[in-house]
């Protein structure tokens, strides 16, 4: 079946540098994409989302890019801080509504002081 997958399971970044976390999806019908951050022992926390009719969306220190041509999603975190260390999941939703999310395996981001 189709699924959301991630290119890299782990990523280490020097504090203050920018980080990029990538995600590949295979379902061209997916309409809505979300990035979640999960710290140890906690549930996932919403970071940012993007609809399929957009290719870029910015938040506070985060930017999500969507390339529908190659079915690729990325999360950019600017000026990383120790608190950014966590597992990051991308998720896709095929419905414009309260539908289930399909999650990728996740990327563990470690910020090196």
Partner 1 sequence: GAGVSQSPSNKVTEKGKDVELRCDPISGHTALYWYRQSLGQGLEFLIYFQGNSAPDKSGLPSDRFSAERTGGSVSTLTIQRTQQEDSAVYLCASSSRDWPYEQYFGPGTRLTVT
Size of the site for partner 1 (CB under 8 A): 23
Q: Work out which of 22, 32, 68, 74 binds partner 1, going by CB under 8 A.
A: 32
For partner 1, which stretch binds (CB under 8 A), given 15-23, 43-51, 65-73, 74-82? Answer: 43-51
Applying CB under 8 A, among 41, 69, 70, 113 the residue interacting with partner 1 is: 41
Q: CA-to-CA distance for 49 and 60, rounded, in angstroms? A: 13
Smallest gap from residue 44 Cβ to partner 1 (A): 5
């Amino acid at each position: 079946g189709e699924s959301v997958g991630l290119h890299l399971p782990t990523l280490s970044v020097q504090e203050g540098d920018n980080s990029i976390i990538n995600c590949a999806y295979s379902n061209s019908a997916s309409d809505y994409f979300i990035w979640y951050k999960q710290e140890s022992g906690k549930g996932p926390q919403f970071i940012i989302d993007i609809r399929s009719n957009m290719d870029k969306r910015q938040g506070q220190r985060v930017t999500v890019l969507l390339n529908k041509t190659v079915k690729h999603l990325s999360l950019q975190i600017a000026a990383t801080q120790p608190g950014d260390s966590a597992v990051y999941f991308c998720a896709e939703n095929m419905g414009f509504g309260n539908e289930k999310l399909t999650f990728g395996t996740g990327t563990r981001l470690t910020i090196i002081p």
